[in-house]
């Protein structure tokens, strides 16, 4: 295969949506920092929902964007937690895929700490090819052709070859 056509991991986004702020949010922030070795960013509510007691602009979650080696190593651990099995519906038509981890203690090497509790997380992976930066750069931004996106089949093949994942 042509080296420029090979897919690669663009980024891995780890998100913990808690639905409330306060002490729980701080615990989740510390936990995500420990798991990824990177400082998380707080996510804010987009709308007010009185039923849940959430105001617009209130921090209700944390997320981390991982790139290059950190993304690769965390993704390997996260797929171990899922027993290296993904559903075909986890992939989209642009070559991205996402999955959830019900409990953070499923990750290899993580022990249960009663003071922290148990948190779930969503892992979203973006695959891209070389030359994808043309679409995102600030100066002379240009659209890329639809054939330059990673297809579903290519994404599945990439994950099976590089991470030994079984797709059901």
CA 43: distance to chain centroid? Answer: 14
> Are 15 and 65 in contact, with CB atoms under 8 Å apart?
no
pLDDT given for residue 103 in this prediction = 87
Question: Quick one: pLDDT at residue 57?
Answer: 86
How far is the CA of 2 from the CAs of 5, 6, 17, 95, 96, in angstroms? 5, 7, 39, 18, 21
CATH entry 3.40.50.620 includes domain 3-167 = no
Return the sign of the alpha-carbon dihedral for residues 99, 20, 110, 112: negative
Would you state the pLDDT for residue 157?
Answer: 92
What local confidence, expressed as pLDDT, does residue 108 receive? Answer: 86
Distance between CA 79 and CA 107 in Å, rounded? 9
The per-residue pLDDT for 126 is: 94
Q: How confident is the chain (168 residues) per 10-residue block, as mean pLDDT?
A: 87 89 87 90 88 86 92 91 90 91 86 84 92 89 89 92 90
């Amino acid at each position: 295969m042509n080296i420029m056509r090979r897919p690669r991991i663009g980024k891995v986004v780890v998100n913990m949506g808690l639905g409330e702020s306060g002490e729980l949010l701080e615990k989740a922030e510390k936990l995500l920092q420990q798991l990824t070795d990177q400082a998380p960013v707080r996510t804010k509510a987009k709308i007010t929902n009185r039923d849940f007691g959430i105001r617009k602009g209130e921090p209700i979650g944390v997320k981390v964007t991982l790139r290059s080696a950190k993304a690769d190593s965390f993704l390997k651990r996260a797929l171990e937690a899922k027993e290296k099995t993904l559903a075909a519906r986890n992939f989209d038509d642009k070559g991205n895929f996402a999955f959830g981890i019900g409990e953070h203690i499923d990750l290899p090497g993580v022990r249960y700490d009663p003071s922290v509790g148990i948190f779930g997380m969503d892992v979203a992976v973006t695959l891209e090819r070389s030359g994808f930066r043309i679409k995102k750069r600030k100066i002379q931004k240009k659209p890329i052709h639809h054939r330059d996106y990673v297809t579903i089949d290519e994404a599945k093949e990439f994950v099976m070859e590089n991470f030994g994942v079984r797709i059901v």
